[in-house]
Amino acid sequence: MTARDASFWKEACEDLSSDEYTEQEHREMYPGLSKNTVCNWAIYGWPVQNELTVENHMVRVARYIEELRLQNEFLRNIIKVRQDVIDEQREKLESTIE
């Protein structure tokens, strides 16, 4: 939710709560929106948006951790293969020296 969105919901809540406009004008200004809906969004819009943002960040962190785990496993396998080759070469070298 942007500051502009929050401003819209706040203004709509104030408009629908005031006696400045008739019921018909309210329906024309904000078709399909009730005072409760608009005012609830004005109040709860930021926390809901922030909660969704935090959830989105947590999902991205979880994906990043999984990528790191897979990369770590890949690198460990490379090290193991190289160590196996080194061990094999060392054994060959030792057997030729003896």
What pLDDT is attached to residue 85?
A: 97
> Is residue 1 scored above 70 in pLDDT?
no
Q: Mean pLDDT over residues 10-31, rounded?
A: 84
What pLDDT is attached to residue 77?
A: 98
Whole-structure pTM value: 0.47
What pLDDT is attached to residue 82?
A: 98
> Is residue 89 scored above 90 in pLDDT?
yes
Domain boundaries, the chain: 3-97
**Residues 28/67, Cβ–Cβ less than 8 Å:** no
Q: Mean pLDDT over residues 78-84, rounded?
A: 98
Q: What is the pLDDT of residues 28-61, one digit of tens each?
A: 888 888 888 888 877 777 676 777 777 888 999 9
What pLDDT is attached to residue 20?
A: 84
